[in-house]
Structure 1
Amino acid sequence: MSISVQRSQFNHSYPILTRPHDNDLHGHVSGATVHGYFEAALQALLLQEAGLDLRDGEVTGFVVSSAADFFALPSFPDALEVTVAVTRLAGSTVEYRLGLFRPGEAEACALGRVVQVFVERASGRPVAVPDALQKVLAGLQLGEAVGEG
């Protein structure tokens, strides 16, 4: 079984410029840094597309699960792109699928999965995804799951 992750499976992306300190001792972008790229793309989505106030808003999102699979080893000075799609949107929970690509390449360097739960900031209790965000996320839902090839 192999996983095939194609750029065509995503319709939303964010540019990432690697930095010299993104590389690990082996000369490749570290896994922790890739997770940081994924987080940066999700926060940009929440701020820019949905207008969510991440610092002082009544509702905030917490990452409750994340994972990544790696297929290629980018390194500084690569320019990269993080693609974002939604695989599940239900109640207070959103599951994102993220791809890490070199510009112009069809196949991903990495595939990430992040699950985020939205909560009321004051109580910490789960709340439904805000309407404005739900509309944005609904537009990012995958028609087909990233497939096994």
Structure 2
Amino acid sequence: MTSWVLRLLPGGVRSLATSSKNQKVEDCHRYREAYGYFLPIQTRWQDNDQYGHVNNTVYYSYFDTIINHYLIRYCGLKTGLLTSPMVGFMVTNQCTFHRPVSFPQVPVAALAVEKVGHSSVHYRLALFPPEPTEEPPSVDHQDLSDGFFLGHPKLVHFAALACTTGSSVHVFVNPATSKPTGLPNDFRNGLLRLMHPASA
């Protein structure tokens, strides 16, 4: 019986080490420096659940918003089925909750690109709450229209540690055939702009 336990122990040790490594990666992803693009998100009254904070499922819509905002604004994504040469299907979504936000807070969503394949894109995402001050962060039309990139002075108004982190994978297909299609160079270059050392 003792030898049976000893044979199992190395596998368990590896499992613990892997878990520890994954936790360290997750911890790194909670910091602003792990992301390249940011977009203020206006929470809505209907986002709150009966516990007084944003419902878990709503965070996915925030992440969907920043992804598609960036693709339209900086990668040239066309959103009309009749005019677009490709359509993005979300095939994987994951979210980890560290602390809640609630209406009427205005957090900032964050986006990084971990991998760009032939027809797929792997994103890393986060949500940073506003700093707890008497005056909420000043968000204007240009912030909502353009977002901003790492290093922008307005980021100091948001917490350095994310309240939520997540990941998503897009697969782009030809709308006529629903088969994966290669990403155009301009589109790919816009995505590569958000590749970050923290994604390694």
TM-score, with structure 2 as normaliser: 0.70
The reply to whether residue 93 of structure 1 matches residue 147 of structure 2 is no
Distance 1:136 1:143 in 2: 17
Structure index of larger Rg: 2
Whole-Å separation in 1 of the counterparts to 2:114 and 2:94: 14
**What is the DSSP-based 3-state SS (H/G/I as helix, E as strand, rest coil) of the residue aligned with 1:137?**
helix
Secondary structure of the residue aligned to 2:89 is strand
Q: CA deviation at 1:31?
A: 1.3
Alignment size in residue pairs: 146
1:71-82 equivalences under 5 Å are 71-82=98-109
Query: Which residue in 2 is equivalent to 1:134?
Result: 188
Q: Distance in 2 between matches of 1:64 and 1:11?
A: 23
Q: For the aligned residues, what is the CA RMSD?
A: 1.3
Q: 1 CA distance for matches of 2:80 and 2:117?
A: 24
Separation (CA, whole Å) in 1 of partners of 2:97 and 2:77? 30
- For 1:74, give the aligned amino acid: V
1:145 Cα deviation from its structure 2 partner? 2.9
Alignment check: 8 A CA contact 2:90 2:168 kept: yes
Q: Distance in 2 between matches of 1:78 and 1:133?
A: 33
Q: Could you say what secondary structure the match of 1:14 adopts?
A: strand
- CA distance 1:33–1:53, change in 2 (3 Å): same
How far is 1:43 from its partner?
A: 1.1
- Write out per-residue CA displacement over residues 38-86 of structure 1, whole angstroms, 9 at most, x where no aligned residue: 0011111111111211123011111001010010100111111110000
C-alpha distance in 2 between matches for 1:81 and 1:130: 29
* 2:36 counterpart of 1:11: yes
Structure (1 or 2) with the greater helix fraction: 2
Select the residue among 72, 78, 95 that pairs with 1:53.
78
Q: SS in structure 2 opposite 1:87?
A: strand
Counterpart in the other structure of 1:37: 62
Match of 1:144? 198
Determine the structure 2 residue equivalent to 1:69: 96
Structure 1: runs of 5+ lacking an equivalent: none
Q: SS at 2:110's partner residue?
A: strand
Task: Give the strand-richer structure, 1 or 2.
Answer: 1
Gaps of 5+ in 2: 1-19, 131-157
